[in-house]
Amino acid sequence: MTDETVAFDVENGIAWVRFNRPDKRNCMNPALNRRMMEVLDELEYRADVGVLVLSGEGSAWSAGMDLKEYFRETEAKGLGAVRKAQSEAYGWWRRLRWYGKPTIAMVNGWCFGGGYGPLFACDLAFAADEAQFALSEINWGILPGGGATKVVVDLLSMRDAMYHALTGELIDGRKAAAWKLVNESLPLAELKARVTEVANILLKKNPIALKATKDAIRRVGEMTYDNAEDYLVRAQEAANSHDNEGRKEGIRQFIDEKSYKPGLGAYDK
């Protein structure tokens, strides 16, 4: 199904969602931000979706916020319009950070500024070697807002974050992987196959455990060890109460049936 600003299709358990303003290098205008929230909403609880992949049509993943429509035209309408546009953008990034299914950013090309919000929101990220990343805000006279500063401080070393934000220089997919902005980088021609492979690994796992695990990874980073221990006990108990028979089945197949080894792969769902 395709709309002006967001395209998506669902195939074999994977929702392939694409920024779809290739002529504008997939920069995010208010219409795209509103539409993306609707698409995420539609896909989140569909039984035929186990993993969501976010990529871009054309040569860009996303060239960040739309400088004309998101900044200039919105600012011309006053502070209320600015706040509304911000909440629409931040809203779908937040929705994606806590999405019910695991998410993968497939960064096929340009990724700038505001694009770091959805990049970070995705649980995993794979980039083309040819992709180009930059915090270009400094090049047009603002600080990296909309969470972008927080993203690089959370993911990069302090020195790399500082260099990246102060210079606005481009880095390619390989360097983004070396800096841990993404999990891996590989030639563009191989990107989709690798992302499909990873998505298929996730599709074999218990979906309740996936959601509990991805939330736990994001939550415990801000906790003391003792708070994390407590949170994780409660999170597991909550997951157990979700009619999650899979966990017992996983133990049964290992201990009683001896049909698999949890150290070497997932049980048969």
Q: Which residues bind ligand ACO (CB under 6 A)?
A: 24-25, 27, 59, 63-68, 110, 112-114, 136-137, 146
Q: Select 8 or 70, whichever has its Cβ closest to ligand ACO.
A: 70
Closest CA to 2 of 163, 16, 222, 12: 16
CB of 255 to ligand ACO, least distance (A): 52
The nearest distance, CB 187 to ligand ACO, in angstroms, is: 20
Query: 137 or 215: whose CB is closer to ligand ACO?
Result: 137
Q: Minimal distance in Å, beta carbon 69 to ligand ACO?
A: 7
Yes or no: say if 70 and 89 are a contact pair by the CB < 8 Å rule.
yes
Nearer to ligand ACO, 142 or 201 (CB): 142
Q: Using the minimum distance from each CB to ligand ACO, give the nearer residue, 74 or 136.
A: 136
User: What's the distance, CA 48 to chain centroid?
Assistant: 19
Q: How far is the CB of 27 from ligand ACO (least distance, A)?
A: 4
Q: Which is nearer to ligand ACO, 63 or 191 (CB)?
A: 63
Report the sign of the C-alpha dihedral through residues 213, 215, 221, 227, in that order: negative
DSSP H stretches of helix in the chain:
30-44, 73-76, 79-97, 116-121, 137-140, 148-155, 158-167, 173-178, 188-203, 207-220, 225-240, 246-255
Instruction: Report the nearest approach of ligand ACO to the CB of residue 83 (Å).
Output: 16
* Residues whose CB falls within 8 Å of the CB of residue 184, separated by 6 or more in sequence, listed in order: 126, 127, 177, 194
